[in-house]
Structure 1
Amino acid sequence: MLVEKFDTFSGHRDCVYALEKGNSLSQFFSSGGDGLVVRWNVEKPDTGELFAKIPTSVYALAFDEKRNHLWIGQNFDGIQVLDILNKKEVGSLKISNASIFVIKLFDNQAFVGLSDGTIVVIDMELLSIRKHIKASDKSVRTIDFNPVTQEIAVGYSDFTVKIFDLTDFSLKLVVEAHTNSVFTVKYSPDYKFLLTGGRDAHLKVWNVSENYQLQQDIVAHLFAINDICFHPNLPLFATCSMDKSIKVWDSENFKLKKVIDKARHASHGTSVNKLLWLQESSLLISGSDDRNVSVWKIT
């Protein structure tokens, strides 16, 4: 496996917390502590475009491919939805005074995870609240969906992963997953496994068909695992950490294949917070506390 630093995008004035795809194979968005939402094109690295300016930190972005809408989480306020073709607001919704840590879209519904432990389910067509799911007083940090089993996996700062029914939102299972906050949950592309990571630096693999029994427990990083991201078409996934590194793994046997760090690849000098693998591409995007967005070509 070869890793080449494709480019570094600078322009953010604070930590980068969120990355999201755009409406072309080369386009993506970033946001962070400065409240800036920036649109980038990997083919034109010097022409980052200020897409929106939010008065608070932005921890969560989500792209609605069907409508070409970008959902932006505005902390202590709510959701702002912008049409990315004309950069116009198409709607907003006041939902909470809490921080918004995650927005995930599935089947015409938006799931918004808040720092007060609430998941707000929003009808994307009507931009109206359908449901409040409250299963903890601790922060909702991460959400993913399993359409095969019709389940939602949610990671909380109470150290658990909770599994909900995707149809009626009932709580099905509580997994005592980690010894500290859970920052990232991701189903494998075949939906047979759930991968989780968090502040305890362990990468854990859970077998979905066996009622989420623990399959592997890997001490993957030195400090907190902030994100897990699967390659769109190869049997690979990547993790990133507060230990400043990015690691690439084999998704069939969960073996480590490559470490991307400052010493070997001139990687980030501080915590790596978010990853995004561009569709149909070998380009992996990473966002960091060092205010930079890096692009990695992995072959």
Structure 2
Amino acid sequence: MRFESFFTGHKASVLALAGNPKEPFFFSVGADGLVVRWNVHNPDEGDVIIRLNGIVPSMTYDKQSNCLYAVLNQKGILEIDHTKRKSELIVPLPSTSFNKLVVSGRYGIASAKGGELILFELKEKKIIDRIQTGLESTPQFILDEAKLWHYGTQGFDTISWDENGFKRSDSIHFKEDVCITSVGKYIWASEEDFLHMVDMKKQGKIFTIETKHGHFIKLLGSKESGFMVALLKSGDLVTIETSKKNALVGQPVQKEHNGAINDLLWSENYTFVITAGRDKKIGVWRFN
């Protein structure tokens, strides 16, 4: 993976990224409230979609509706029509601070500080269920079709849902808090200096390897390739090639950002990795 260029234009830290990993366009949102549309090949042609009043810690793009969804601290969940350049507060959640948002089909899930997961219905614009994970911090989770995987005090839970809410199933336990992602049908969990491979169907650890590069604080997986990109606590990036029996961890790539990286995103058929920097810059990296 090699650094290509910076996209500039935000007046404050770039907080979150969103886009379809198969397309060259993507969106960013900054602490300045600006939501900007970019093309990975045109660093000087950012198009400001809208300005939001508040902090957006997470944003996602839904291909089905061609809309952006974002969590706005102290206000709730927004739907952003980037073609009409307007936003709507679809789920009011005052006095709530968020961490992560994922949308899939009819549903969306937001994690809130204090350990709560909030399941909501997009079309009806209503909350279906809320679950307390038992964590004081924000829970880690991923979405795989109609299943939600999250790590809490009771372990690594698989949760499915329907119109009636969440349904728990088995748990997998680790000693420490983890960050997780999915690659194909497997879940990968990073715990301190170790990386665990977890089978979604059998619900158990398959193997564990030592990363040797320190603690991963963010993992970016892919359903259509056997690769991950990991963000180290130091701010460096690492590529990981995975298989059913092993994971090959590459050498760290020195970060180009002057400060922390807030978010990672795949772009254009997994050819590029986009990074959101606290230094107001968006980094573009070519993935080999």
Q: TM-score scaled to structure 1, two decimals?
A: 0.84
Q: Is residue 14 from structure 1 mapped to residue 12 from structure 2 by the alignment?
A: yes
What letter corresponds to residue 164 of structure 1 in structure 2?
Answer: I
Tell me the residue number matched to 1:162: 157
CA distance in 1, matches of 2:233, 2:15: 12
CA distance in 1, matches of 2:194, 2:4: 29
Indicate the percent of aligned positions where both proteins have the same amino acid: 18
Contact 1:207/1:215 (<8 A) preserved = no
- Residue 125 of structure 1 deviates from its aligned partner by 1.0
CA distance in 2, matches of 1:92, 1:30: 20
Counterpart among 214, 219, 222 of residue 214 in structure 2 = 222
Tell me the residue number matched to 1:128: 126
Change (3 A) 1:205 1:232: closer
Counterpart among 236, 249, 253 of residue 256 in structure 1 = 249
- Residue 160 of structure 1 deviates from its aligned partner by 4.8
Tell me the residue number matched to 2:172: 175
- Residue 220 of structure 1 deviates from its aligned partner by 5.3
What letter corresponds to residue 284 of structure 2 in structure 1?
Answer: V
Alignment of 1:146-157 (within 5 A): 146-147=144-145, 151-156=147-152
Provide the aligned C-alpha RMSD in A. Answer: 2.6
Change (3 A) 1:233 1:170: closer
Runs of 4+ aligned structure 1 residues displaced above 6 Å come to none
Counterpart among 185, 191, 195 of residue 188 in structure 2 = 195
CA distance in 2, matches of 1:201, 1:43: 36
- Residue 164 of structure 1 deviates from its aligned partner by 1.3
> CA offsets, 1:19-70, max 9 Å, x none?
1105982211122433332221112211222223333321110112111111
> CA offsets, 1:238-290, max 9 Å, x none?
1112311111111213111343214xxxx223322321111424111112223
Contact 1:35/1:53 (<8 A) preserved = yes
Change (3 A) 1:141 1:11: farther
Contact 1:249/1:258 (<8 A) preserved = no
Change (3 A) 1:136 1:27: same
Q: Which runs of 5+ in 2 are unaligned?
A: none
CA distance in 2, matches of 1:254, 1:75: 37
What letter corresponds to residue 169 of structure 1 in structure 2?
Answer: F
Alignment of 1:73-112 (within 5 A): 73-112=71-110
Counterpart among 202, 213, 216 of residue 205 in structure 2 = 213
What letter corresponds to residue 12 of structure 1 in structure 2?
Answer: H
CA distance in 2, matches of 1:60, 1:70: 11
Q: Is residue 287 from structure 1 mapped to residue 269 from structure 2 by the alignment?
A: no
Contact 2:19/2:27 (<8 A) preserved = yes
User: Alignment partner of 1:97: what SS?
Assistant: coil
CA distance in 1, matches of 2:140, 2:49: 25
CA distance in 2, matches of 1:6, 1:78: 36
Tell me the residue number matched to 2:114: 116
